[in-house]
Amino acid sequence: MTVNPADSSVLGALYGTPAMRAAMGERAFLQRMLDVEAALARAQSRLGIVPAEAAEAITQAADVERLDLPALAEATRNTGYPVVGLVKQLTALSGREAGRWTHWGATTQDIMDTAVVLQLRQGFALIRGDLLALNGALAMLARRHRGTIMAGRTHLQHALPVTFGYKVAVWLAPLITMVERLDQLRPRVERLQFGGAAGTLASLGTQGIPVQRELARELGLACPDIPWHVARDGFAEAVCFAGILCGLLSKIATDVILLMQTEIAEVNEPHVTGRGGSSTMPQKRNPISCEYIIAQSRGVHALVPQMLAAMAQDQERGTGPWQTEPLAIGQAFNLTHGALTQARFLAEGLVVDPARMLKNLASTGGLIASEQVMMELAPLLGRGEAHHIVNRACDVAIAQGIPLAEALRQEPEIAARVEPAMIARMCNPENYLGSATLFVDQVLASMSR
């Protein structure tokens, strides 16, 4: 029984991914807590604190399939945390002698936080793989359409000519940076949490730091300089990263939705029979992937403030902020991966119509070349006067429904100084791409750096 659609058996096909649910879901969390308890016993056995046989028995017992989940739920309801009930069951499953050594020197938050870190490590790996695949698909699009001319739009109006490859490179460049950000933040997030009751490891005496270091090695995590029970920057950064990534994916989805409009029709989502269809309108091919990129991204963006607010932890153990994090972390990663996989599907099969792009480019009769004309006339007339004359010619072209070149030929100052062939050349948008293709080349080159 679920409430959030991202966790349901039916609507879950639209939100999130099975892989991320498996990584961030409850069963994974319980198993990761058991993994931490078992790793703690093994680390302490190597330091002579826990008998080796006990560590082996605890490791064998640390299997989520052996837990009594209804009993664990009841214990969790009573204590407010799952660790007490989990340790009780692990102790019983390990046997009388070995069970005496479970959870030695640890506190509830050590086990829960480190379990979440292990989940995030798996979640980061999933995101990184699909992000690299998305970037590869976008790079192919940018390369293929490096010189495919189209109308660039500002304020949703024709502005200057660009190329579709340039547009895709604008999408791609920050996503390349996101790979760098991910690789940089992982060591800050994938850190052991082990501090005992108040973060001092007092229960382990002089062996506290050696146990901490050995446990970090056992789990393959970084060992922090000090426990971070109430320093939540790592988890907050992880969810903020998800929020930034979703913002970039939303940009792509928004552009594609606008370019898919019937009146524009320059690109289309990959077509699969029945995908994006309507129950009443057989002609419809709705931008389904884009819609679910945006929907899931907005869900993640709503969770970012929750994680930032949870950083206000009181004293040596928070009384509430910490408990709000589980409501955000797993869902943020699930929705982020859902948006990312939709974006990958979109990029790998995007249908591009260069002929329609040319048709739309020409739809204003050359008005998109007005800056080009102005800049070429500026040395003859002065920039201010050139702007004034071209602006007047644009008004005439719009009012009379004639091409810009014809309106320019009606301007006495231009007709007297500029040959008709030059006017025609100035009004050709293909001559005004600036450094668009070179920018594409630079972004593609950065993929290998």
**351 C-beta neighbours (distance < 10 Å), count:** 11
What's the CA gap between 275 and 270, in Å, rounded?
9
- Residue 17 three-state SS: coil
Neighbouring residues of 234: CB distance < 8 A, sequence distance ≥ 6? 117, 188, 189, 191, 228
| 8 is annotated as an active-site residue | no
Please tell me the distance from the alpha carbon of residue 27 to that of residue 16, in angstroms, as a whole number. 17
**CA–CA dist 184, 161 (Å, integer):** 37
The alpha carbon of 377 is separated from its chain's Cα centroid by a whole number of angstroms, namely: 46
Closest CA to 252 of 199, 174, 365: 174
List 213, 317, 409, 425, catalytic entry: 317
**DSSP letter (8 states) at residue 365:** T
Pairing relation of β-strands 149-154 and 351-352? Answer: unpaired
The angle at the Cα of 250, spanning 246 to 254, to the nearest 5 degrees, equals 180
Per the structure block, which two tokens stand in for 213? 């270091």
Report d(CA 121, CA 23) in Å as an integer: 9
The CA–CA distances, whole Å, from 290 to 121, 241, 335, 426 equal 27, 20, 14, 37
Neighbours of 282 (CB within 10 A): 7
Which of 100, 275, 278, 298 is flagged as catalytic? 278
Task: Provide CB contacts within 8 A for 22, sequence distance 6+.
Answer: 28
Contacts of 380 (CB under 8 A, 6+ apart): 386, 417, 418
- Annotated active-site residue 317? The verdict is yes
Among 332, 310, 312, 314, smallest CA distance to 323 is for: 310
In 160-261, which residue ranges form alpha helices assigned H by DSSP?
164-189, 208-219, 233-260
Catalytic residues: 278, 317
